[in-house]
Structures are given as C-alpha cells and as structure tokens.
Structure 1
Amino acid sequence: MSKHYSKQNLKEIAGGDEDFMAVVAQTFLDEIPPDLEALEEAIDNDNKELAYQFAHKMKPNFEMFGVDLIKDAKAIEDWTKTSKNKAAVSENIKKMVTTLKAVFRELKDDFSL
C-alpha cells in the first residue's frame, strides 16, 4: 500500500538519523492536527485572514513530509484573497482532512508513536 507521505524526504532531511526522524514525526503529529482543526474552523467561519495563516503555515510541513497537499493549501490561500464563499474550497479542505488523517495514522505506525 502506498503511503500518503514520503519517508524518503524525511530521511534526507534527517540525514538518515532514525531518532531525529521520529522527533520530527512527533512534532508534525503535535502541531498539524490542531492547525488543521483551526483551518477548518476558519473556513467554516469565513475567517479568510486566519485561514490564510494556517494554510500558509502548513505548506513547509507538507513539503518536508512529501504530502501531496501543497496545491490544496495554495488554493485555500488564493481563496482568501477573493470574495468567493467557502464552497469554493470545500473540496480542498476535504482532501486535506482525509489525507492528513491517513498521514497521522501512518506516522504513528511507522515510528511507533
């Protein structure tokens, strides 16, 4: 089964140090779930400024972990600069939630966290 993140990306960043990789994975698990929840809430409340901040904050993590959500985060950032309603990004946030929940499970399994 293919992963929703790239352990290879993480390995390169950590220089192959498994302990450091586990620390980085734990940090991701500590920070991203509340950020995701806050992003969902900001979109629900049409708080575009806050939605932009959380989408923007998450992008480097997606890049570091090879999670294919940068386009979705960018779409949310772009939406915050328009007058479109939240339906315009409903598919993006749905994909982010679904994908990230899978990443959280995979990281916990892969690093016994």
Structure 2
Amino acid sequence: MKIYDLQQVKEMAGGDDDFVVEIVKAFLEELPPDINLMREAVENNNPELAYSVAHKMKPNLQIFGLELLENIKRLESWSKDRVTRKDILEDVSLIEKKVLLACESLKEDFQVV
C-alpha cells in the first residue's frame, strides 16, 4: 500500500497526466525545505514560524492523502494550547517521516530526480 494517495491530485488534474506530474514535482520541490524549516522552528522554540510552515504545508499534505491533519493542527495551535515542545517534536518527527517516505515513493513512481 502506498503512503500517498493521488485521488485528489487526479481529480484536480481532470485527466491531464502532465498536470499530475507537475503537481508531483511541485510537492517534491516544496515539501522537503518546508519540513526542514518546520523542524528548525520547533527546535528553536519559534511557534509562530512553526504555525506558518505547518499552515502552508497542510493543503499539499491533504491532496496527497497523507493522513497528518491532526499532527499539523497540533503544530499550528502549539503557541496557543500550551502543548509541550517535546510533544510537538513527536508530531514533527512523524510528519517528517511520512513526508520523506512519500517523496521517495513519488520520485520512484514518477521517475523524478
């Protein structure tokens, strides 16, 4: 079973396979740097930046079927809900792991470098 699901991506593309490839490429270009920035924000105790990055990533994670919405929501609300940084780091690790696995799988499946 794949870690990602392209159903929403394909619906957006309306049968245009080239558009699907472009969306995949955009995901592969944007998400790894965002993941790094998210980790840095949490490690540097910067909830505002963590919120911004998590909020930016959320639509991409959703359209690729990565079930990380609860983790992203916790990260977004970190500054308000008084969640501990340790708990947030666990969310970051899970998000990071799933996104990087999805990236590797997408690269392989779409033969994108």
TM-score, normalization by structure 1 = 0.93
Is 1:16 the counterpart of 2:15? The answer is yes
Is 1:92 the counterpart of 2:85? The answer is no
TM-score, normalization by structure 2 = 0.93
Measured in 1, the distance between the counterparts of 2:71 and 2:30 equals 19
Is 1:51 the counterpart of 2:50? The answer is yes
Aligned residues: 112
Once the two structures are TM-superposed, the CA of residue 22 in structure 1 deviates from its matched residue by: 0.5
Other-structure match for 1:104: 103
Q: CA contact under 8 A between 2:58 and 2:69: conserved in structure 1?
A: yes
Once the two structures are TM-superposed, the CA of residue 83 in structure 1 deviates from its matched residue by: 3.6
Unaligned runs of 5+ in 2: none
Identity of aligned residues (%): 39
Q: Structure 2: which amino acid aligns with 1:65?
A: F
Once the two structures are TM-superposed, the CA of residue 71 in structure 1 deviates from its matched residue by: 1.1
Instruction: Could you list the structure 1 runs, at least 4 aligned residues long, displaced by more than 4 angstroms after superposition.
Output: none
Offset from partner CA, 1:6-47 (integer Å, 9 cap, x none): 022211111121111010000011111101100000000000
Unaligned runs of 5+ in 1: none
Q: CA contact under 8 A between 1:5 and 1:67: conserved in structure 2?
A: yes
